[in-house]
Amino acid sequence: MTVFEGNFTQTESFKFAIVIGRFNDLITTKLLEGCQDCLKRHGVDPNPHGNQVDYVWVPGSFEVSMVAHQMALSHRYDAVICLGAVIRGQTPHFDYVAGEVAKGIAAASFQTGVPVIFGIVTVDTMQQALERAGIKSNKGWDYAMGALEMASLMRQIKGQPGVQVFPVTPNLAIASEISQNLL
């Protein structure tokens, strides 16, 4: 039998989409920098004018999952990375925003069969957010590592003879095929 495990080499042909919330952009721009740094050091060209990474800016974390879903549905990417910052101190509807984006990202991944990385920092204070966006460490780096590993893993799984990765929801499977001009 086989052990499947993602690695961090042979990344030249990977394609990623990064969806970033503008809300709390003091944090999200730093997460993006960490993410780009990691991709670059693992052989991915993060230049927006290159051919490996597309970027989409949306108003806030609430909108991130919807756009990530659309990007994943296009099947043009090995993984989609979602970046956002939801800070409890700033919003009485923290639980709604954080909860919805988490559910939306999970659904996007399940329904398309494309890895969609949960790069949403959910914290109580701006201080905690800053600590995760470069002061102590930069979680953007970790999110990019997750995307690289999953991209590699999914290519290995899909590369197995007779193995196809299907979206989970039948209707979306059809939508996915339509988006690839297979129907």
Taking contact as CB under 6 A, which single stretch among the options 44-52, 84-92, 156-164, 166-174 is the one that binds ligand INI? 84-92
The smaller minimum CB distance to ligand INI, of residues 28 and 152, is found at 28
Helix (H, G, I), strand (E, B) or coil at 97: helix
C-alpha of 41 from chain center = 18
Catalytic residues: 93
Cα(176)–Cα(179) distance, rounded to whole angstroms?
Answer: 5
Angle between helix 139-158 and 25-41 (nearest 10): 50
Site for ligand INI (CB under 6 A): which residue of 97, 114, 121, 154?
97
Indicate whether 118 belongs to the interface with ligand INI (CB under 6 A): no
Write down the least CB distance from residue 45 to ligand INI, Å.
28
* C-beta separation of 133 from 85 below 8 A: yes
The smaller minimum CB distance to ligand INI, of residues 104 and 113, is found at 104
* C-beta separation of 115 from 154 below 8 A: yes
The smaller minimum CB distance to ligand INI, of residues 86 and 114, is found at 86
Taking contact as CB under 6 A, which single stretch among the options 31-39, 81-89, 160-168, 173-181 is the one that binds ligand INI? 81-89
Please choose, from the candidates 114, 132, 115, the residue with its C-alpha nearest in 3D space to the C-alpha of residue 123.
Answer: 132
Write down the least CB distance from residue 90 to ligand INI, Å.
4
Indicate whether 154 belongs to the interface with ligand INI (CB under 6 A): no
43 vs 134, 141, 168, 175, CA distance in Å? 22, 14, 32, 33
Indicate whether 85 belongs to the interface with ligand INI (CB under 6 A): yes
The smaller minimum CB distance to ligand INI, of residues 68 and 150, is found at 68
Phi, psi of 13 (to 5 degrees): -100, 0
Scan residues 4-33 and list those touching ligand INI (CB under 6 A): 21, 23-24
C-alpha of 115 from chain center = 7
Scan residues 44-63 and list those touching ligand INI (CB under 6 A): 59-63
Chain residues binding ligand INI by CB under 6 A are 21, 23-24, 59-63, 84-87, 90-91, 97
